Amino acid sequence: MTYKTRIAAALALMAIPAAAQAEPGDSAGRIGAYNDAVIAIMKAKLPLPARAERFETVVKAYYDMPGIAALVAGPAWASASAADKSAAIGALTRHSAVSLARNFTSYSGEKFIVDPKVIERGPERVVKVTIAGTPLFYRMRQSAGQWKIVDVISSGVSNLALQRADLATTVAKGGLPAMVKRLGQLDAVK
């Protein structure tokens, strides 16, 4: 075996573990890209309505909004019309964008540190990110061939569970149209 052949064989063998780990790393890479998008918006120093518009694009790219909407709506989702489901997805997308715009107002050198050790839970992945000493856990699933966020857990509290609890009475009384109306009231950006 020549020197070049041995080097090529060694490189090929080294690549095998990396390929086996590509799937979990992919979810961490998606969160890294998401964090970069959040920081870019923070650095732009935009007013709230403009930040919300930019965050809406980010939410559509990185969150599984149809899956989140179904989980937040609960049993009402199954019997809802396609139009009501579409409106609910749109309202929750906007709600997520406005929430991000309100929470991430400006950049002051914050670092988003992604833990490369991804936790695998069946078809889901959990990626840990530390921001200013606070850990956040992003629960992700495959959607349309990409890892997408379905929940963010902070201090042991699930954002998805909070949304569902906050909207449960509204959905029980008026279905998805009532949820869309309520989210519109909460998200009025001035």
**Which pLDDT does position 48 carry in this prediction?**
95
Check whether 23 has a pLDDT greater than 90. no
d(CA 167, CA 134): 27
Quote the crossing angle between the two packed helices 48-62 and 82-103, to the nearest 10°. 120
Residue 190: which pLDDT band, with cuts at 50, 70 and 90? low
- Residue 126 makes CB contacts below 8 A (sequence gap 6+) with 118, 119, 137, 138, 139, 140
Question: For the chain, what percent of residues have pLDDT higher than 70?
Answer: 86
Check whether 36 has a pLDDT greater than 80. yes
| Mean pLDDT, the chain, whole residue set | 87
Q: Domain locations in the chain?
A: 3-186
Mean per-residue pLDDT, 169-175:
96
pLDDT, tens digit (0-9, with 9 covering 90-100), for 62-107 = 999 999 999 999 999 999 999 999 999 999 999 999 999 999 998 9
Q: pTM of the prediction?
A: 0.83
Class of domain 3-186: alpha beta
